[in-house]
Structure 1
Amino acid sequence: MTSESTDEMPDAPADSSAGSVTDGATGTAIDSGSDRVSPTGTAAAEDAPAQAAAEPRRSRFDHLPSPVFLALLGVTALGGWLAWNRTDPGAFVLVLGAWLLSIVIHEWSHAALAHRWGARDLRGSGLLSLNPFRYPDRFLSVVLPSAYLILGGFGLTGPAHRWEGVRGRRRQTLVALAGPLTNLLLAVLFVAVPALMLRGQPTDSWFWSGLLLVAFVQATAAIVGLLPIPGMDGFAALAPYLPRRWATFGLSDGVRTYAPIAVFALLWIPPVHSQLLPMATVVLESLDLFDESLLLPYGELNFRFWSDS
């Protein structure tokens, strides 16, 4: 009976709109044989300009250094000139300015790699344009690291960032490691320049001792930054391989805010602080360029020009 009724069913009338598809969500009639969309799809057409406006506009100036970075470079050069002429506060301006420049380059290395691997929302941001005044967390990324240097005499960068849009665990790890590795490369640079210029000759130059202090600060920043502590770059490098709950907690806003402060407080304890200094010195001595054992304390003394000792 079923087969007979099926055979007796009349053929379905030909669909005059064959070749067209109707979008059930928007009611838009789309001709499958072409790219034409009927006037009924005005809602989707109206959304297109809004989506385009939401995306950052591309500019040839997106990756150029900002005037703020160039001004900071000039102030650091002025500090270097004052230090060369043994004038206070030349060593202080030189070391602090070089540290601020390294912070900006540290953050730029993170952002440039993240942008290359999918974080398109960074286009036009202060992180890519080397403008610390446009950082989303200026206090944590600039003010506190400057205070760490002045009060503690060592380098400690700001908290780790969550880079949206970067896919793949390996890429996320490399983005997190870009900052500390940048500090390590800068440490090598600031040791190599005095070594090549002095060629083993003893000196009491404020300028060269200041550059060596900058190298020491970069080494401490690299060591501390690589520690797998929640909120720091070392943890962010491991986060892609951790359970999601742990990774989310370790990079949450609350942890990112207080983790660097807690690390600084821990490093302020004399036994801990005394262990960090030899570690950074070992990094510099491993380069085997010249003996910095006497020049480094001299740089610290000139940096703290307000101190009597």
Structure 2
Amino acid sequence: MGHPAVNLDKNSDFEVVKDWNGIDQIVLKVPSGASVRVSLHGGQVVSWRNEKGEELLFTSSKAIFKPPKAMRGGIPICFPQFGNCGSLEQHGFARNRIWSIENDPPPLNTNSKFGSGKATINLLLKPTDDNLKSWPHCFEFRLRICLFMDGHLSMTSRVRNVNGKPFSFSFAYHTYLSVSDISEVRIEGLETLDYLDNLSQRERFTEQGDAITFESEVDRVYVGSPTVIAVLDHEKKRTFLIRKEGLPDTVVWNPWEKKSRSMLDLGDEEYKQMLCVDAAAIEKPITLKPNEEWTGRLELSSVLSTCCHDHLD
């Protein structure tokens, strides 16, 4: 139990396991039965289970788990870009690198709404020589992942510029939620907002619906979105609540049938069981001067749908 870089409440538990590629995964547990599994490949949350043992995140049955390919599912970290542009790989390099566990991270002031008592892992990413060739900026990226006693999950990213000059980046927690049937899901909290439509060359539109529902492929960046968003799954009577800080945008993505059939690491029908809703900073990239630090925080909870409106206030 003496792992120096995993901080735990006395009632919590964890284990360090190897995946089939020999890469460490940290499993955080709390007494309620909830758990989170984090891979050092990408600093990626690959599993989040509630107290009943139900998996709350989607992972494709055809996901490729071998580095440097990022796994299709869980919560990949998109940094220093979201999308596909320039000389960097799609969604940046953070999700394709091996992270290290940080023994003694700098203090972090957080005011979680989820109460005290938690299991925590602290990860660190620094640039490699290959990174510096394609993105010539020195940085320190610290990621803190916490599982609270009630099963809620938080992720806090801190990016510090240790460069001699400013740099800019975009960012997203590319969150794959597990849903019963995409046609039975709706999103509340993004009504009346402007969005950039990636299916129409990022043309800007205004959301007209009372809630977002799904009948075809969707790939949008909602700009200036609120700090709390709800994803309601009618069949499971479950609502995901997404809270975010330092992340002004929200990405909503489902590839639907045609695109799913063209993706090697996604089953033809699996689009029905997944929905990506990403806390992000995309429209206006974040710029850090030398020695400046940015913090972006995501908190995920799963509640009964009858209770969700209390949390949206």
TM over 0.5: no
Q: Which has the higher helix share?
A: 1
Structure 1 or 2, whichever has the larger Rg, is 1
Length-normalised TM-score, structure 1: 0.24
Q: Which has the higher strand share?
A: 2
